[in-house]
Structure 1
């Protein structure tokens, strides 16, 4: 399982954090699970200032994430799923989305929670979607890691 060795994250305080979640629409069952996990994390972390947006697919995530990173959010979370098919399309989309989101985080200084599943099969995606019988909840994890990173950045001396 890919989650082996994951750290137990300690969240100090998320009071006052503004967090946006941008989620793709492709693969509805997987995406509904990821969004559900993200919402659970936002609730548990008591993050009140939140925005949830949906975009057509994973390739559209970076442009919307970048726009939100420039609007005063403390963290932005990207949720999507790309499932390998019989063409190189999978490789191009995964690489573009991953590099785009990393660049946005580095360039803006705003943590970007990476909740984009890049799976060989739909079964692998469902196993990570945080739905019934899933072994992992990547939507929940993406929000939590982004919030923890935002609180670390908030604690740095200015």
Structure 2
């Protein structure tokens, strides 16, 4: 959603929505930035304070996101980062995490804000983490997308 042409979702009304943030624990500086961006966005949108749950890594996001989606939350923001290494591990984790989060959203009907960074190196991750020197704030974007989608779904239901 970043860059030229991205939607402005900041004015979406998040009041009354129950939102959870599920975040991986690897790469503390990047994750702190993503969580901060998501939390600030939810606050600015008027959403009640979200619950924050940490999981070991990005691979573990989907089952915990699913548990919150099934327990009455209106939206769940999934945050993680996978940085390419010298083995195919990166490809497997990225694919599994992405597929898992997509399945959760489709199977539960609860929007999942996709804040999983899949980067070639740490500098790319830092540049997307919503830190002071970052060009992008993917945590903010994931939270805004989750709330906007929850609002659309409420209007359909």
| TM-score relative to the length of structure 1 | 0.95
Residue pair 1:16, 1:49 contacting (<8 A) in 2 also? no
Task: Report the equivalent of 2:100.
Answer: 100
| Residue 10 (structure 1) shift | 5.8
For the pair 1:13 / 2:13, whether they are aligned, the reply is yes
Contiguous gaps of at least 5 residues in structure 1: none
Q: Residue by residue, what CA displacement relative to the aligned partner does 1:36-95 show, whole Å, maximum 9, x if unpaired?
A: 101101110111152110011100000100000001000001000000000000000000
- What is the distance in 2 between the residues matched to 1:113 and 1:68? 13
Pairwise CA distance, 1:11 = 3.8
- Looking at structure 2, the residues matched to 79 and 27 of structure 1 have their Cα atoms a distance apart, in angstroms, of 12
The size of the alignment, in residue pairs, is 156
Shift of 1:4: 3.5
* Cα contact 1:75–1:110 (8 A) shared by 2: yes
How do 1:2-151 residues align onto structure 2 when only pairs under 5 Å count? Answer: 3-9=3-9, 11-151=11-151
In structure 2, the CA distance between the partners of 1:15 and 1:124, relative to structure 1 (3 Å rule), is same
Q: Distance in 2 between matches of 1:47 and 1:27?
A: 27
3-state SS, counterpart of residue 118 of structure 1: strand
Query: 1:3, 1:108 → 2: CA distance?
Result: 30
Contact 2:39 2:50 in 1 (8 A): no
**Is contact 1:10–1:148 with CA below 8 Å preserved after alignment?**
no
Separation of aligned partners in 1, 2:53 and 2:59: 14
TM-score (norm 2): 0.95
* In structure 2, C-alpha distance between the alignment counterparts of 1:3 and 1:85, rounded to whole Å: 26
CA contact (8 A) 1:24 1:61 kept: yes
